[in-house]
């Protein structure tokens, strides 16, 4: 592995460039926002659709938008050329069986262009993840990354606070009453994070490369149970929430091979 050059605060016009994969997505968008707000890096925002509304918003915010496709490694070579580092991410629910190759392409492009630091959104190397549908390709990517020789930091984002609405864990019934329905032990703390904060973590990693290269970390704001989610929701909104579908830990772990989003929870 190459020894990383120490990060230094650049002089005006001499900012190191960070390429941000998935720049119009949740994680990539947060990374772009925090890097631009901090001001020590120039941001090269990667997207397959450089003329989209979101891409144009990135240009207005100060990023340089570059067209790149994770399935096209040449486009990644071009996007990474001249950069100090990159933020990498893949999406199982968009790529499915191609996700693993997307991760490999990002890593190979980082190596070919001699990036000083690749920060990769992935999963930890825990055996239970090897065959979990939504995690197995990220697991394979992490294994490949660790052997690649690329100076890297791998991180796993905790459960997003906002997921309780995205997956209809919390929903408003036809009668106007709120309900929570999810087969998970309601008293067990869940590592949780605001997706808006992910870019702040990545910024910290990139500005302290010597401390973070070669490491894997979880990005988490707090541990909070579903019961505490309900209490917070009621405190803020004033609405009472009816709770359904509580299960035991053993019943929940049996869901790990389900092909839908439940499959990511037992990790």
Contact assessment for residue 20 and residue 28, using Cβ atoms and an 8 Å cutoff = yes
- 215-241 tens-digit pLDDT: 999 999 999 998 999 999 999 999 999
Nearby residues of 205 by Cβ (< 8 Å), 6 or more positions away: 117, 119, 153, 155, 212, 217
Query: pLDDT value at position 13?
Result: 65
Q: Is the per-residue pLDDT at 65 higher than 70?
A: yes
Nearby residues of 202 by Cβ (< 8 Å), 6 or more positions away: 30, 31, 34, 35, 87, 119, 155
Contact assessment for residue 195 and residue 27, using Cβ atoms and an 8 Å cutoff = yes
CATH level 3 topology of 17-160+192-221: Rossmann fold (3.40.50)
2-16, 90-104, 229-243: the lowest-pLDDT one: 2-16
Contact assessment for residue 247 and residue 185, using Cβ atoms and an 8 Å cutoff = yes
- 143-187 tens-digit pLDDT: 999 999 999 999 999 999 988 887 778 888 888 889 988 878 888
Query: Of 102, 98, 100, 78, whose CA–CA distance to 22 is shortest?
Result: 102
Residue 47 phi/psi, 5-degree rounding, is -155, 150
In angstroms, the CA 79 to CA 69 distance is: 10
Here the tokens at position 79 are 């996007």
Query: Of 32, 97, 42, 109, whose CA–CA distance to 70 is shortest?
Result: 109
Q: Is the per-residue pLDDT at 140 higher than 70?
A: yes
Here the tokens at position 238 are 């004033």
- Residue 68's pLDDT band, with cuts at 50, 70 and 90, is very high
Query: pLDDT value at position 173?
Result: 82
Alpha helix segments (H runs only) across 81-189: 92-95, 99-112, 136-148, 163-166
Contact assessment for residue 89 and residue 120, using Cβ atoms and an 8 Å cutoff = yes
Kindly state the average pLDDT of the residues 203-215.
Answer: 97
Q: Is the per-residue pLDDT at 258 higher than 70?
A: no
- Residue 245's pLDDT band, with cuts at 50, 70 and 90, is low
Query: pLDDT value at position 266?
Result: 44
Cα→Cα distances 155→14, 27, 51, 88, 222, Å? 28, 12, 30, 10, 16
Contact assessment for residue 20 and residue 35, using Cβ atoms and an 8 Å cutoff = yes
In angstroms, the CA 116 to CA 152 distance is: 8
Query: pLDDT value at position 175?
Result: 84
């Amino acid at each position: 592995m190459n020894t990383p050059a120490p990060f230094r605060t650049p002089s005006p016009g001499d900012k190191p460039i960070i390429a941000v994969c998935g720049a119009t997505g949740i994680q990539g968008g947060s990374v772009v926002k925090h890097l631009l707000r901090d001001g020590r890096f120039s941001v090269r925002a990667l997207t397959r659709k450089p003329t989209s509304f979101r891409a144009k918003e990135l240009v207005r915010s100060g990023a340089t938008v570059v067209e790149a496709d994770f399935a096209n490694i040449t486009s990644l070579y071009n996007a990474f050329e001249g950069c100090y580092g990159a933020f990498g991410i893949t999406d199982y629910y968009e790529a499915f069986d191609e996700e693993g190759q997307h991760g490999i392409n990002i890593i190979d492009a980082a190596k070919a262009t001699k990036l000083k630091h690749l920060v990769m959104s992935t999963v930890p190397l825990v055996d239970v993840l090897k065959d979990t549908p939504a995690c197995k390709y990220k697991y394979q990517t992490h294994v490949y990354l660790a052997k690649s020789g690329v100076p890297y930091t791998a991180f796993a984002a905790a459960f997003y606070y906002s997921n309780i609405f995205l997956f209809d864990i919390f929903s408003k019934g036809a009668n106007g009453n709120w309900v929570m329905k999810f087969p998970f032990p309601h008293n067990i703390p869940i590592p949780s994070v605001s997706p808006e904060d992910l870019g702040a973590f990545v910024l910290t990693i990139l500005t302290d490369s010597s401390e973070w290269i070669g490491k894997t970390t979880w990005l988490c704001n707090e541990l909070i149970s579903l019961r505490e989610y309900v209490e917070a929701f009621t405190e803020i909104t004033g609405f009472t929430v009816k709770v359904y579908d509580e299960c035991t830990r053993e019943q929940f772990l049996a869901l790990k091979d389900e092909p839908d989003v439940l499959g990511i929870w037992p990790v």
